[in-house]
A and B are shown apart, each in its own frame.
Chain A
Amino acid sequence: MSTVEIELREVRKVYHKDRIEIPVLEGLNLTVTTGEFVVLMGPSGSGKSTLLHLIGGLDSPTSGSVRVGDAQLERMTERELTSWRSRHVGFIFQMYHLVPVLTAAQNVELPLLLFRMSSAERRERVATALGVVGLADRTDHRPNQLSGGQEQRVAIARAIVTDPRLILADEPTGDLDAKTSEEILNLLNVLNTEFGKTVLLVTHDPRAAAHGQRQLHLDKGAFYRDEAVPPRAASTAAASR
């Protein structure tokens, strides 16, 4: 039986700029079950990234509630949120944001520095994560010695090395060519289907959106369409791996 992983109730987010209120999200309600692959789509400024940040505990709602797993995020302090993120959320960004002076393995190891763990265990986890993303032979390469796709794979390995339950990807293919994008999206599919991760993907790209199981369309801070991705599209995407 599937359990509720993410639950948003009447979530509003308002930014203030020069005393002017800018509403970004308008009373959103959302339920995502564990192991779902949800794609958030919408034009620029529709509130996709804001929503992702709220679910990832990087920002707090102006009103409403955000529950992820057992955590009621709007009630948590910043310190608690940071600690929670380190254990439960893996972030993937458009521009990878690897530390240029560290090797691939060291970049992946970074989140593990926050845990009490022997160096042998850390090494093992790093090797596993890099193996999952297919970069076991690039451990000692620095970001400038890797292609864009490989850099994003390292970023994905960094996101999964702590074995989080939730993966939040903010336009992870936005800076990649079509073939490499496909590889990255397939990798997200693998994390979802084989490792049971709940994935939330923000994208503009309909081809990327086809990799999810469910598409949420957002405009002006509200959902206007919530649809399941036709199984054919999903299987085609899986077949192209």
Chain B
Amino acid sequence: MTITYVLMQNLNRNPLRTMLTAAAFALPMAVFVAAISLVVLLAKVAAANEKELRLGVRQKTSLINPLPEGMRRKIEALDPDRKSLRAVCGMRWFGGRVPNTQNMLVSMAADADTFPEVYSDVQMTPEETAKWTADRTACVAGSGVAEQYHWKVGDRVTLESTVPPYLTLEFHLVKIMTQTERGNVFYLRRDYLEESLRTAGFDNPQCNIFWVKCTSAEGLRALQTRIDQAFANSPEETKSEDENAFAANFTQAGGDIPGLMQAMAIVVVCIIALVAGNTMMMSFRERIRELAVFKAIGFQSGRIFTIVLAESAMLALIGSLAGVLPTAAILTLVPMRGLRMGPISRVEISPVAVIVSVVIALVVGLAAGLWPAYQAMRLRTVDALRRIA
């Protein structure tokens, strides 16, 4: 028998209370592990974006206000020697969805000639690039979308636009992107979209954003200033920003979501700490006599402190694992079809998130056990025994 065994048996003393307290840890930790995984994933996406050295140029007032497609040439002309600029890809929002479904895809019409270069991280093979270039109806879809609608390379797929004039177009799928951060993304060729719009009587070629692939981080910063200066005080004033700053605008669009999440997380953690603290205090009070006997037979105060604290930590550990492990298993094994978080189609559970969640639970457990453990340590054996004599 070891002290750990005694601790485990103590948790068995009141199984219902242990279960309920463990559940108080399990449920928030299940949400935590998913939320932290999302944050880790976004950080990964941000790091990948930074490496891609893409600068987004959009209309200064809003992304909704389009820029004329001719601006691409003007941007390219700002760096004729191609010292900082590698390529420019104009993009127009298509807002497509699969007919008879509600979920809108992140669907963008991209310049066919520069898309493979500007989006080299899509990793199109020469064959795929050849198909993309040769076929105006070519499209590229994320794995999340493909999995959801059972698409495979070579399929003919149809999307209907959710913006006027609500075109319904058929595409030829030439590649499925495997990157998590593009799971919910769909790229089509802009020339195909413009031609279809023209046929429908909307002859106004334009872009919502131009993505400028740069040669270096310094080049990106230099171009950012140069482009915005070039179009300052013109009818098409621009705002240039790197891909992460651009993504942050979307995150912040619905208010300070990360701040709100943080505040909620703190509140939840405090509630768990109070619940666990209450449980540990009840458990301590019930066992005051027993702990006094432990002291009488030779257990040092420090050891009593450790026992009570360890019990609280163990309860937190069991509870957090009960929440984190099933969540990790579910999110790993079950495809989250229909999950829509911008371009991301699925949350991969990160080992970092699992560790962080368990550490948070442990810290909360320790904090909750601190006061009862201190009380147990300070317990005067004689007083406690007198209560029972």
Contacts and interface: CB of A to CB of B under 8 A. Distances in A.
Contacts of A182: none
A170 B375 CA distance: 25
Contact of B389 (A49, A83, A110): A49
Contacts of A106: 1, 6
A93 B297 contact: no
Contacts of B300: 79, 82-83
A109 interface: yes
B295 A93 contact: no
Binding site of A, secondary structure by majority: helix, strand, loop or mixed? helix
B103 interface: no
B381 interface: yes
A97 interface: yes
A79 B10 CA distance: 25
A86 interface: yes
B10 A111 contact: no
A56 interface: yes
A122 B2 CA distance: 11
Interface in A53-106: 53, 56, 58-59, 78-79, 82-83, 85-87, 91, 93-95, 97, 99-102, 106
Binding site of B, secondary structure by majority: helix, strand, loop or mixed? helix
Interface in B364-389: 381-382, 385-386, 388-389
8 contacts: A58-B385, A97-B292, A102-B6, A109-B1, A113-B2, A113-B6, A159-B297, A170-B385
Contacts of A122: 1
A97 B86 CA distance: 80
B290 A99 contact: yes
A158 interface: yes
A171 interface: yes
B150 interface: no
B12 interface: yes
A58 B301 CA distance: 13
Given A99-B290, A101-B9, A113-B1, A49 B386 contact: yes
A170 B296 CA distance: 13
Contact of A158 (B3, B13, B297, B382): B297
A100 B13 contact: yes
A59 B382 contact: yes
Interface residues of B, number: 26
Contacts of B388: 93-95, 97
Interface string B275-297: 00000000000000110111111
Contacts of B299: 82, 86, 114
Given A91-B297, A114-B298, A58 B382 contact: yes
Ranked nearest first, the 3 interchain pairs of A and B with the lowest CB-CB distance are A86-B298, A101-B9, A97-B293
Given A59-B382, A87-B298, A99-B6, A94 B13 contact: no
A12 to B, nearest CB: 16
Contacts of B301: 78-79, 82
A110 B13 contact: no
Nearest to A86: B298
A85 B295 CA distance: 9
A83 B6 CA distance: 21
Contacts of B2: 113
Nearest to B381: A58
A102 B12 CA distance: 10
Contacts of B386: 49
A122 B292 CA distance: 23
Contacts of B295: 82
